[in-house]
Structure 1
Amino acid sequence: MTAPRRRSAPATRAAILDAARERFGTTGYDRVTMRQVAGDVGVDPAMVVRYFKTKEDLFTEAARFDLGLPDLDGVHPEDLAAVLMPRFFAVWEGDAGFLSLLRASASSDAAGAKMLELFAGQVYPALAAAAVDRPAERASLLGSQILGLAFARYVLKVPPLVAMSRDDLSEWVAPVFRHYLTGPPTVC
């Protein structure tokens, strides 16, 4: 008979966070229980409570991201999409936690608040630095474009968007990035 495998505390904590991100993203904040997350990892629910105290604390930790957006101060408007899109693709395609938060934000007030916090703390300052004026409006408009694109391509999986290469998609959105951050406001 083989002795059960021992996990290290950091590995167990990381496994719990990974399982929580998956659960919150697929099930939504309101329907996830700490017991389910524990079951996904194969640990006692008390272990989840030990590390995270409450479901809200678990969610807060699972929804913590550093998007690593570049400094856009001094980036020429023509180059905005070329600078930003590789970073967004890296987040969208390389961090299941972000997509889980994006999915959950559509149906959960708590997830929506975390997404807004992420936008206000990381996306807004980066985009506002490149805005020629009215940074709040310009950054918010471009942020809505970016979130909409991520939602349509990676959550809804709109076929033409999924089929586009990264380069093609970047070329299509480049004029939009430029307009939102540096173009004249258009009033109809």
Structure 2
Amino acid sequence: MTIWYVIDLVGTSVFAISGVLSALGKKMYHDIVALFFVGFLTAVGGGTVRDVIMGAYPIAWIRDPNYLIVIAGNVIIAVFFRKWWRSALHRPLLLFDTIGIGLFTILGMQKALTAGVNDWAAILLGVISALFGGVIRDTLVNELPLILDRQLYVTPCLFGALLYLFNQSMGLDPTLNIILSVGLITLFRLLAIRNDWTLPSIQD
């Protein structure tokens, strides 16, 4: 079990939880199967789009049943602990989403680099891995996708991706590089939410 496999499963877990919390926020209590599919599509959407673009077949969740097991388990966890998370965490959906985009940006980049794509394409594929699951989630529950939210969302992913490439070129320890890059994305995004950071808007 490599560190990348662990990151993939952890990212899958937190995105599955974010999908279920989003659906529960829309009062979708009545259908556990629907909750599973929202969690499932949130968890695997970005990685699937990335792998289809790269032609990386078979796609991970089709090849490895552990992904579906992890998603199903975390759907149940999200349902049972939904009230605790709401009382213990401030805006738990945004927290889980933020952790997910941090993990999947770097994971997606590394998968692309391993496949031999150029650095700039790897950055874009990392961002796709991070964001498309959330776009699918928000569309399913009829919410404005977070990618279109006024607080910085794509920008933290780009900064983290650039840091990862820079550290890799400098020969930094791979595990430390992952920690620093994912940490930058997560912290940057949380600070953007807390302080309402935005980029200048385009006016007509």
TM-score by length of 1: 0.35
Greater Rg by CA: 1
Determine which structure has the larger helix proportion and give its number.
Answer: 2
